[in-house]
Structure 1
């Protein structure tokens, strides 16, 4: 995002903490006497949790930004959560999550920038869920479009600039943890090839509109939205991108993912996550960001793209105090080549790529069960650290 927008976003976060309303807010939890932002989020009319976005993503370099997390509750909901939170350490976190709005942006040293606005809300005792978001920015990243062994490590620098958004509406099947729904995706972008010859030249590869409609299926039996330690979920999405929906290209995408959280001892949780992505098309050229990639902490974004990708992770979490926890994680992922439709999904396993790391979390808002912290991750080619809210899976 532009530097002026980055500064204004940071200023908003700092100014919010200094509003006249904040002088009466208690940042000490009455149950354990520790630093906590739960009352600030609930009682301050302008309160939000400022989340620092310190970027060390190998694909775009170092960067910084701020995202604000706003929680929306009625006065009755606030009072109910406050009372339950005073009765047990994790009491408030077991209630239905409030509506959440996030807004902010960031920029990095290589010129990448973005700004975003997102909202999640539930109705009728969590029987209807809505998720929506919009964003705009410019991403400058290395892409590796070649499938041959001689060229597969040869990257090209592309800049993708534009805007886009996503919407998802889900309905719970009565008396179950199963949701079915519809969703929409739209992006309008221009791709530019940077020559890399040191002469400052760049070459436009054209503008593209990607517009898709589809359906989703989700099973959600986790014990928390923000930091689950028990239960599991499953998510499947299928999208059709067609000219009739406003898309310049015709293709389909499929996503299937699942996370499992298993308590193995007091204050110990073993978690597993798996994800599979597929893209099918009869066209030879699609926008670079349309292709899925291997998504693991420690591996650069879009480093391993293909028509088929998958990743597998495990994570061991230890809550050694009610506030603090540490984790160890590791995983592997694979990809087929871009455009290698004849290889099929099985080619994902021909050349797997690994990553591992460690992290910590602090319970920053106990009555909501919000944990924040840092992960440090390594892979065979890169290393990075990430500021995360949640488990990181």
Structure 2
């Protein structure tokens, strides 16, 4: 059951939750300093602050307060996510079995957007199955940009009241680490323009103001990374194809074909080189807010959209010690609008740096902070695991 919260009530709720997260984080740190080396918050290997045993034996969770720096959401906000991570009960010798993850979140931003939701990512290795399921609800105020005549890019603000629901189920083919299966995405959206035009701009249809998107699809994944949080080496390939049509229950007729490739090389014991390639192709007429967009750190959400997107990024991580690392990343992308050639589309780039701390050694989980710049924008991010997991 989803309970709608008005913005004032939600603000009170988020303040309480963020305060709780800070108390938990402070308690986490102070407690770890008071107890002996056998504490669940100390690593038995180097006796440093570590959440591995806390997560594995105490049914604990990582309290993750996070700043929201997305410019299209007001440039500042707060989110809180208790993240529960548990090793899978079924383990296979010589094979990496990812842990099960359950996460909830609440968020509020400076432009009065608010969101809440939950997700579970888990597997049943004995049967060769993986599944993901999630749902949310929110009132989101977001800015979109379009080129208007000879005036250049102009900002259009909207309020979205949406209920998104997502689920997927895949089955391993033999012992190949190739998983194939089905997925489904549903979103009910009530859209309100928040700008002073007397008529809707060309890219907004009347139908998109109150609509349903219902997208069944198929997906194939190949994952040979050495861990699913902060990989040191390995390959991950993923592709999916989704359909929206009247027979699926959608108000729109369009299709999406997405592909993602991640490659990690540990060239020395201290240096990890990562590479990311993504392409998104869309066919048909989708609501503007579901057009493919450039997804890079430092680039505002929905700033660059098109019928197709191509993206390439690299991240280099250097481990100064077992616990502390520095990262540098840079990338480029193009979002190609309909009837625009690849060469004419805007080249979007980003670059930035950050640091990581190995917060859960037994899971290979690192956390840290990144700062990033792009063509005309800047952002900073709290990173849990890999930034490519969060944004890809």
The TM-score by the shorter chain falls in which range? 0.7 to 0.9
Say if 1:196 and 1:335 are closer, same or farther in 2 by CA, change over 3 A.
same
Deviation at 1:237, TM superposition (A): 0.8
Corresponding residue SS for 1:247: coil
Q: 1:3 aligns with which of 3, 6, 11?
A: 11
Provide the rounded CA distance (Å) in 1 between the counterparts of 2:69 and 2:127. Answer: 36
Say if 1:326 and 1:140 are closer, same or farther in 2 by CA, change over 3 A.
same
TM-score with structure 2 length normalisation? 0.85
Aligned to 2:350: 355
Aligned to 2:141: 140
Contact 1:189 1:207 in 2 (8 A): yes
Corresponding residue SS for 2:296: coil
Deviation at 1:347, TM superposition (A): 2.4
Aligned to 1:187: 187
Q: 1:381 aligns with which of 372, 376, 379?
A: 376
Corresponding residue SS for 2:17: helix
Q: 1:207 aligns with which of 206, 210, 227?
A: 210
Alignment of 1:1-393 (within 5 A): 2-10=10-18, 13=21, 26-45=40-59, 47-60=60-73, 61-73=75-87, 95-125=96-126, 127-146=128-147, 150-195=150-195, 206-281=209-284, 283=285, 286-337=286-337, 340=338, 342-343=339-340, 346-347=341-342, 350-393=345-388
Instruction: Count residues with an aligned counterpart.
Output: 363
Structure 1 alignment gaps of length 5 or more: 85-90, 198-203
Say if 1:294 and 1:158 are closer, same or farther in 2 by CA, change over 3 A.
same
CA deviation profile, 1:109-137 (whole Å, cap 9, x unmatched): 01122112000111125821001111111
Deviation at 1:230, TM superposition (A): 0.4
After superposing the two structures, state which structure 1 stretch, 3-12 or 311-320, moved more.
Answer: 3-12
Deviation at 1:29, TM superposition (A): 1.1
Query: Which fold has the larger relative contact order, with Cα–Cα distance below 8 Å and residues 6 or more apart in sequence?
Result: 1
Structure 2 alignment gaps of length 5 or more: 1-6, 198-205
Aligned to 1:87: none
Corresponding residue SS for 1:3: helix
Contact 1:115 1:135 in 2 (8 A): yes
CA deviation profile, 1:190-211 (whole Å, cap 9, x unmatched): 11111259xxxxxx96211100
